[in-house]
């Protein structure tokens, strides 16, 4: 099991959470799908729910009014930093938008929310007592992430400038454009895909599962929708799904598992 016990390097995806209009239904859906349990962190944390897997906090969930986000909901991706204030300045200097300024989250760390120049939202996490998700790349946890956007050129430049994530174009087939983002140590951390049909840009999360086809059935049984797949790739068997609120995410049984 891949357990995270120290702060990851700059630009590493380190945490995910979701704001959703019906927290009870969301807990039922995701708990049944991934085997998650939940721990409410209380009124001081505005009812934030810690998502637990094998005794480790791996994500977060909070109830938000449906009209507070224009009816759209999504999984938020947070990038690691050891200096949230310095990173948020680089974001603004590189043409990004500060959505929520840097602030302390109790003794756990410091966070901020921003948008890249293509309009995709993401977060920053400077871990203190909590480095981020306690388990990654294992069934039930997040394993990969891709930015789907129309403006791949602006996105590539931005993430390299802010996080030193270096894009490398890969062969994704005819009429497709895909770049893998890698840290300076050459470790791939995600990708950027051109999507001309997308209504708004989004970091799309991939969650690891032990069996993609069985997981798809659990999505359907829980009130979610299959949008694409399952299909086999060199990296694993994937499916594109939506939860009962229309939130987009993908599932993968990686070939490495």
196-61-38-43 Cα dihedral, nearest 10 degrees? 180
What is the pLDDT averaged over residues 171-181? 85
Answer whether residue 168 shows pLDDT above 90: yes
CA–CA separation, 169 vs 55, rounded Å?
A: 38
Question: Which residue's entry shows tokens 């140590």?
Answer: 185
Answer whether residue 225 shows pLDDT above 70: yes
CB contact at 8 A, 257 and 236:
yes
CA–CA separation, 18 vs 74, rounded Å?
A: 6
Question: Which residue's entry shows tokens 């939202």?
Answer: 121
Answer whether residue 70 shows pLDDT above 70: no
In the DSSP assignment, the letter for residue 108 is T
- 196-206 pLDDT, tens digit per residue, is 888 899 999 99
Tell me, what's the pLDDT at 43?
Answer: 84
CA–CA separation, 16 vs 7, rounded Å?
A: 15
Answer whether residue 93 shows pLDDT above 90: yes
- 30-62 pLDDT, tens digit per residue, is 999 999 999 999 888 888 999 999 999 999 999
Percent of the chain with pLDDT over 70: 96
What is the pLDDT averaged over residues 170-186? 88
Tell me, what's the pLDDT at 69?
Answer: 65
Answer whether residue 172 shows pLDDT above 80: no
CA–CA separation, 140 vs 153, rounded Å?
A: 32
Percent of the chain with pLDDT over 90: 83
Phi, psi torsion values for 25, nearest 5 degrees? -65, -40
Q: How is domain 13-127 classified at the CATH fold level? A: 2,3-Dihydroxybiphenyl 1,2-Dioxygenase; domain 1 (3.10.180)
Looking at the chain, the domain(s) classified CATH 3.10.180.10 span 13-127, 142-254
| Strand residue runs (E) in the chain | 13-20, 37-40, 49-53, 56-63, 75-80, 97-105, 109-115, 121-127, 142-149, 166-170, 178-182, 188-194, 202-208, 225-233, 236-242, 248-254
Q: Strands across the sheet with 75-80, in order? A: 37-40, 49-53, 56-63, 13-20, 75-80, 121-127, 109-115, 97-105
Higher pLDDT, 35 or 4: 35
Mean pLDDT score across all residues of the chain: 93
Domain 142-254 has CATH 3.40.50.1370: no
């Amino acid at each position: 099991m891949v357990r995270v016990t120290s702060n990851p390097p700059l630009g590493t995806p380190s945490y995910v959470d979701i704001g959703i209009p019906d927290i009870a239904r969301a807990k039922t859906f995701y708990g049944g799908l991934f085997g998650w349990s939940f721990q409410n962190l209380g009124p001081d944390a505005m009812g934030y729910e810690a998502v637990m897997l094998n005794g480790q906090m791996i994500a977060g969930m909070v109830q938000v009014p449906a009209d507070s986000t224009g009816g759209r909901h999504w999984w938020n991706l947070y990038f690691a930093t050891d200096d949230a204030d310095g990173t948020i300045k680089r974001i603004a200097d590189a043409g990004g938008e500060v959505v929520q300024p840097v602030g302390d989250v109790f003794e756990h760390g410091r966070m901020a929310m921003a948008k890249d120049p293509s309009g995709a939202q993401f977060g920053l996490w400077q871990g203190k007592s909590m480095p981020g998700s306690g388990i990654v790349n294992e069934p039930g946890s997040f394993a990969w992430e891709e930015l789907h956007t129309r403006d791949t050129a602006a996105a590539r430049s931005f993430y390299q400038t802010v996080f030193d994530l270096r894009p490398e174009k890969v062969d994704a087939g005819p009429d497709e454009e895909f770049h893998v983002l890698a840290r300076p140590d050459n470790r791939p951390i995600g990708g950027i895909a051109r999507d001309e049909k997308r209504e708004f840009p989004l970091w799309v999360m991939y969650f690891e599962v032990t069996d993609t086809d069985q997981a798809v059935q659990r999505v359907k049984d829980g009130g979610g929708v299959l949008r694409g797949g399952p299909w086999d790739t060199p990296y694993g068997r994937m499916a594109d799904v939506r939860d009962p609120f229309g939130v987009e995410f993908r599932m993968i049984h990686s070939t490495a598992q």
